[in-house]
A and B are shown apart, each in its own frame.
Chain A
Amino acid sequence: MATEHTHWTEQSEIHALGALDGAERRDFEAHLAAGCAVCESYLRETRETLNLLHRSLEPIAPAAAVKSRIFEQIEKENLAPIGAVRVKTPRRWQRITGTIAAGLVGLVLGGIYYRAHYEPRHTLYSSVIELLRDPTTRDHTLYGAGPTPQAKGRFLWNESGEGHIFASNLPAAPEGKMYAVWTIAQSSAPRYVGTIKTDAKGQGGLHIKSPHSDKPIETFAVTLEPVGTTAAPTGPMVLVSKPS
């Protein structure tokens, strides 16, 4: 079953090729500028896939003179990387010890940074893309309600129990409160599936992996709750999949 978002992911593939034009391009770029994390990650992933195209070409080595010309241009025009700060050239022993220390620090920090920052984000993007690729995944629009009528959102949901919620225009929860996310199956009590936090721009997202439900989920909702409330919703609804 096609999701509401299929159109945009298809456009993102053509955009990654550089072939989108006219009004379609303007619309897609406006959609991206609105902060669509799904399309952003899909675009990124498609670009990585397209690397296969130029890798398919028989490699041709450039003339050695080109590299010399580049360094000559940098020296001649005194080009510096934008934002770089010029530093005094250190003494030789300082350079050697500095290089070793920097190398060790770089290795450690690089590893930590990669594991802490890049790897989880990449894993998250991949999970969302996998979710989108699954033809049984549904895309539900979330509507603002109660104290936050301006809020918007989308809920990608697969009946396996995996899903992803995106929220926008939802102000950060007040002190001592949280936004609880619930799935509600037919004639069943709401099930707490996680807490979503929004940033200063009112945007937030949460990847969900919950146990499989025998009954299909009919409603998705976010409520404003006292911190720690997970048994049942008690506060006002701020986002819901069915407009009231």
Chain B
Amino acid sequence: MADEIVSAIQLIQRTATQDREAFSRLYDRFSSLVFTLAMRMLRGRDDAEDLLQEVFIQVWRQAANYSQERGSPEAWIVNIARSRAIDKLRSIRRMEKSFTLTDDPGRAESAESVESNVAQSEAKLTMNSALANLPEAQRRVLELAYFDGLSQTEIADRIKEPLGTVKTRMRSGIQRLRDMLGTRAA
């Protein structure tokens, strides 16, 4: 694992010197991971491919800014992807909200169910290992935050539970993930 991390670090360092071959290998290594995450978050192939392109252009541009002290290459790239995806999701929600208020009060709920259907039919994602092993209540809050980009307050509102309950479930879920990794996370 340490060798893999060091190798990915070297690819990023070489990318920072305009080494296209290193960048190509970096893409081959992480593109599927970013695309899968993008599909889960944005729920559409076109949007996910756009996001993938944006993420790797940013990686190309900002490779010199990467610092291993802040995390592994995977965590760095995923963080870029999630930040961009969350910006897009929030932008979409703002638009939907605006549209709903001026057009059809019942649209918010229907839009949500459409989202859900799209997620199930188009993304065709299946869960295994870590997520599947979390209790439903913990898994739900982690998914709403991590994949749907909702804040703790928005999650409390969505699942109609007190904010304190949401926080507790998040922390318990993260603790369970830590347990799965062992007593000490890598």
Determine the residue in chain B with the shortest Cβ distance to A56.
B131
Tell me how far the C-beta of A13 lies from the nearest C-beta in chain B, rounded to whole angstroms: 5
Q: B42-81 CB contact bits vs A (8 Å, 1 = yes)?
A: 0000001100110011001111110011111011001100
Is B137 an interface position by the 8 A CB rule? Answer: no
Contact A59 B36 (CB under 8 A): yes
How many interface contacts (CB-CB < 8 Å) are there between A and B?
183
Report how far A49 CA is from B128 CA in the complex, Å.
16
Known: A47-B75, A48-B72, A49-B177. A54 touches B36 (CB 8 A): yes
Report how far A176 CA is from B175 CA in the complex, Å.
47
Known: A62-B35, A114-B2, A118-B68. A130 touches B126 (CB 8 A): no
Q: Residues of A contacting B170 with CB < 8 Å?
A: 13-14, 17, 19
Contact A86 B49 (CB under 8 A): no
Partner of B130, one of A53, A79, A129: A53
Known: A19-B150, A20-B152, A21-B151. A50 touches B35 (CB 8 A): no
**Size band of the interface chain B makes with A:** 35 or more
Is B111 an interface position by the 8 A CB rule? Answer: no
Contact B146 A18 (CB under 8 A): yes
Within 8 A of A (CB), among B167-186: 167, 170-171, 174, 177-178, 180-181, 183-186
Report whether over half of chain A's contact residues are helix, strand or loop; otherwise say mixed.
helix
Q: Residues of B contacting A67 with CB < 8 Å?
A: 24, 27, 31
Report how far A18 CA is from B174 CA in the complex, Å.
13
Contact A59 B33 (CB under 8 A): yes
Determine the residue in chain B with the shortest Cβ distance to A47.
B75
Residues of A in contact with B (beta carbons under 8 Å apart): 10, 13-14, 16-22, 44-63, 66-67, 69-71, 73-74, 79-84, 86, 106, 110-111, 114, 118, 121, 126, 129-130
Residues of B in contact with A (beta carbons under 8 Å apart): 2, 6, 9-10, 15-18, 20, 24, 27, 31-33, 35-37, 39-40, 48-49, 52-53, 56-57, 60-65, 68-72, 74-75, 78-79, 82-83, 86, 123-132, 142-143, 145-147, 149-155, 167, 170-171, 174, 177-178, 180-181, 183-186
